[in-house]
Amino acid sequence: PWDSVQLMSPRSDAIPPAPLATKHRVFSSCWSPGSQQIALGEERGSISLWDAATRVKRSEWVAHSDKAVDTLAWSPDGSRLA
């Protein structure tokens, strides 16, 4: 688990911008269909949703407070996150 996530392009040798910093260790990540957003599941039950292009956190909520979010999945149309 990490407390930040570095987004990198497999098509570029450029040095990536600063990583996505989180409050707690990251246990899971999942790209949205179309790769416009990335969801991060953290150790204390929270999920944060990030805009991949701007690296801005769009929202954060607590899914459950008693354990880490270790699995995430988007619906095929990108409208739901489980």
What's the pLDDT tens digit per position in 20-44? 777 788 899 999 999 899 999 988 8
Q: pTM (2 decimals)?
A: 0.81
Query: Is residue 49 predicted with pLDDT exceeding 60?
Result: yes
DSSP 16: P
Tell me the three state secondary structure of residue 22. strand
Position 1 confidence tier, pLDDT thresholds 50, 70, 90:
very low
Is residue 24 within 8 Å of 3, Cβ to Cβ?
yes
Distance CA 48, CA 10 (A): 24
Confidence at residue 53, expressed as pLDDT on a 0 to 100 scale: 85
DSSP class per residue in 36-82 = SEEEEEETTSEEEEEETTTTEEEEEEES-SSS------B-TTSS-B-
